[in-house]
Chain A
Amino acid sequence: MRTLDENETTLVFEKLFKFTGNNLKNIVESPSHEGPDREPGRYCFRLNKNRVYYVSESLVRRATNVGRENLVSLGTCIGKFTQSGKFHLIIQALGILAGNAKHKVWLKPTSEMSFLYGNHVLKGGVGRITDSINPGDGVVVFSMSDVPLGFGIAARSTQDCRKVDPNANVVLHLADIGEYLRMEDEL
């Protein structure tokens, strides 16, 4: 387990910024009440075996007792660095993304299942969408009852969405909570 260096921090933050915008500040500065400490600590990002974890600092201090080889996971794993050095978010990051999301899409109940099987979100399945989305922005996908289902990348801007035909992709799938079943071993 180690801290991220400056380049890695920039990569991680840029990716999170796509989804959260200025709410990234909340993620970085939110206080943690974990552990026996009286004063609230903070959350921080730690890297172990190419995976990035979002951990409270009290947990980090306790985890220093565990060797790098033996440490399987700590806190919330939010993503991993690929061999080529890019940063990918994984489904477990949904928790912190959903609370601070800038762009959101709500799915109709009929199209929820399709998304949870790993398909892109079609225009026909969109129940509601926040405005001022630009193509390429990170979007968090919710069910109509405000349950976060996953996240993806916007394929079109909000304005374009009104015009396109119902079979066009609106959100390109990145991760969904169906992965907890489909890819149980890899998570």
Chain B
Amino acid sequence: METVDLGHLMAFDPTHQFSSLPSSREELVESCLQKGRELVQAVANALFSLPSTEDLDGPIVKLPPPTTKLPREKHLPKPKPPTKWETFAKMKGIKKHKKDKVVWDEQTSAWKRRYGYDRVNDDQDIPIIEAKSTDEPGEDPFAKRRADKRKRVDKQEKNRVQNLKEAAKFGALPSHVQLAATALPITGTQAAPKKVSKNELGDVAGIAATATASGGKFDKKLEGEKKPKHDHKHRKFLPVAEGKGLGSKEKEQTDRVLNKLISKNSHEILNIDKAITMYNVKKEKKRRNQRGDSATSTSSKLKPKKNLQKKSSNKKGPSSSKKAKSKSK
């Protein structure tokens, strides 16, 4: 009878036996396939018997947790050899016991961390050190304190590396150290010989090929050697012809440049000299009209209107209107 483990989507039949050993290989394959098909069918049956929710792609079921225990892929990690302190502590019978993370600081009368930044009994908090009779003259007590601290830190680092070396001999380096092991000064751990990848090789070849005065332009190319990679950016231009009609981007660009140019020169639209002369000429005309008899005033009123109409109609051909103006001058 098959047992189905839906968590792994797996089914197997521990009791299956061939009734008679098949004679040829084809038969064996055939019977194996048949058994396999039965087992897959069993998995499918079990799957469809689970409670399902409808989805666009079809029914969706939630798989139960797996019941079969599969063997580990990697071997168990080796036990770490004890560090020097651990052996010493065992010899002396020193036991580890838990300490609080925060401690009451008498100096500042506040709760402070036991270690690290802003810790209890921090040297940085002591602004004055009392002189002692044993002090050497001409020595900065603050500098000495800093140097001592540095020394202690260095010593601890040395001890740490020493312990790691010992662990590396047993092949029990912690995984995070293993990754960085090449950077550690541990003798005995060997960095895996680095294989140069194809890309790296190509890069080096490219650098060598372009290391001439002409950038490798006139060198003989080897068989199968590619052109050196061109590492600056290529200039990108708008398309020459974009679909039907002009590219919208090109139109945008020309409009942008044109508007900028026109707005930059917009102060030139008002020509003060011209405006003054025009104003004077108009004044003159008015005066002349007033001097003339009032009967012709209606006709004179019509005249400037005509002029206005002409101007608006002639806007497209500025050359003609200008000529007219210069003539009138």
Contacts and interface: CB of A to CB of B under 8 A. Distances in A.
Interface of A: 1-3, 5-6, 9-10, 13-14, 17, 21-26, 28, 41-42, 44-46, 57, 60-61, 64, 99-102, 104, 128-132, 159
A60 B250 CA distance: 13
Contact of B257 (A10, A100, A128, A132): A10
Nearest to A27: B258
Nearest to A159: B273
Interface residues of B, number: 32
Given A44-B250, A128-B326, A131-B326, A13 B261 contact: yes
Nearest to A18: B265
A24 B261 contact: yes
Nearest to A39: B245
Contacts of A46: 240
Q: Which 7 A/B pairs are nearest by Cβ-Cβ distance?
A: A3-B238, A61-B241, A9-B257, A2-B237, A132-B271, A57-B246, A10-B257
B45 to A, nearest CB: 64
B256 to A, nearest CB: 8
11 contacts: A2-B240, A5-B237, A10-B261, A22-B269, A25-B258, A42-B246, A44-B246, A57-B245, A102-B318, A104-B322, A132-B274
Contacts of A159: 273
A32 to B, nearest CB: 11
Contacts of B260: 10
Contacts of A128: 326
Given A104-B322, A131-B329, A41 B254 contact: no
Interface string B218-262: 000000000000000001011111000111001101101110111
Interface of B: 235, 237-241, 245-247, 250-251, 253-254, 256-258, 260-262, 265, 268-269, 271, 273-274, 316, 318-319, 322, 325-326, 329
B276 to A, nearest CB: 12
B322 A130 contact: yes
A163 to B, nearest CB: 15
Nearest to B236: A5
Interface of B is mostly: helix
A41 B329 CA distance: 40
A10 B258 CA distance: 8
Contact of A130 (B235, B245, B261, B326): B326
B2 to A, nearest CB: 69
A11 to B, nearest CB: 10
A131 B325 CA distance: 9
Contact of B241 (A5, A24, A64, A101): A64
Contacts of B245: 41-42, 57
Nearest to A16: B261
Contacts of A102: 318
B254 A9 contact: yes
A3 B318 contact: no
Contacts of B268: 21
Contacts of A5: 235, 237-238
Contacts of B254: 9, 13, 28, 44-45
A17 B318 CA distance: 15
Contacts of A26: 316
B250 A13 contact: no
A13 B257 contact: yes
A64 B240 contact: yes
Contacts of B274: 131-132
A60 B240 contact: yes
A88 to B, nearest CB: 18
Contacts of B239: 3
B239 to A, nearest CB: 7
A17 B238 contact: no
Contacts of B235: 5
Contact of A24 (B250, B251, B258, B319): B258
A102 B314 CA distance: 15
Given A128-B326, A131-B274, A3 B257 contact: no
B319 A132 contact: no
Given A9-B253, A64-B240, A131-B329, 10 more contacts: A2-B240, A9-B254, A13-B254, A14-B261, A21-B268, A25-B258, A45-B254, A46-B240, A100-B318, A104-B319
A87 to B, nearest CB: 13
Contacts of B318: 23, 100, 102
Find the residue from B238, B254, B269, B271 having the highest chain A CB count within 10 A: B254
Find the residue from B240, B245, B253, B256 having the highest chain A CB count within 10 A: B240
A25 B316 CA distance: 11
